[in-house]
Each structure stands twice: as structure tokens, then as C-alpha cells.
Amino acid sequence: MKRWYGKLLGFFAGAALMRANPFLGAMIGLLIGHAFDTDWFKLRRDNPYATLGLTADASDAEVDQAYRRLISQYHPDKLAGAATELRQHAEVKARAINNAYDRIKTLRKK
């Protein structure tokens, strides 16, 4: 559980708003708070520039350089003899780097 404040705020807001049945209101508020904490509504989007360690005003050359640096560091083939957990972490990180790079390239073509 990374985020918890939505549940807490929802619990108290629900209890305060439903004065006739504060327990029911608190439970409904807790459910809504949980939905926001776990991002059921997909309100947060990943920032592809932050994944590459850049800002939005980075040049194309800087984007390419950051991509090459990170993918050479986290490419799963470089960790062929490493532990399984380390390889899996590298695969996840390399996938995120590739997705961020593709998203930046797509955004800049528009």
C-alpha cells in the first residue's frame, strides 16, 4: 500500500456527509478513497521524460543520448549470467525505457 491518504480522507468525509448513517458513509468514503489511492481511474499518467531523466524541453539529441545510456545499462542481454530477480528487474526497466522513448518520439512527430 503506497498511498493511504485517500482512504483516510474518504473515511472522514463519508462519515461527515452522511450524518444519518455515518458508518455507511465512512465505508463508502473508504471505498472511494481506495479507488483513488490505487489509481482505478487512471488519473496519473507516467511522464516519459522523467523515465529517461530529462525535462520536456530536452532536444532530440539529448533524448537519444539518454535513451542509449539507459538502455545500455539496463538491457537484459547484458545480465545473461545474473540472478533471475536482477534480470527480471532489468527487463521491466528496459521495457519502461523503450516505452518512454517511443512515446516521446510519437509526441514529437505530431
How far apart CA 38 and CA 72 sit, in angstroms, is 32
The CATH number of 48-109 is which of 3.90.1150.10, 3.30.300.30, 3.40.190.10, 1.10.287.110?
A: 1.10.287.110
pTM over 0.85, yes/no: no
Start and end residues for every CATH 1.10.287.110 domain found in the chain = 48-109
How far apart CA 9 and CA 26 sit, in angstroms, is 10
Q: What is the pLDDT tens value at each position of the chain, 110 positions in all?
A: 466 667 777 777 777 777 777 777 777 877 787 777 776 666 556 788 888 999 888 999 999 999 999 999 888 888 777 788 888 888 899 999 999 999 899 888 86
User: Which has the closest alpha carbon to 52: 44, 61, 41, 63?
Assistant: 63
- Residues 6 or more apart in contact with residue 34 via CB below 8 angstroms: 6, 7, 10
Angle at 63 between CA 58 and CA 64, to 5 degrees: 150
User: In the numeric block, which cell numbers belong to residue 78?
Assistant: 547484458
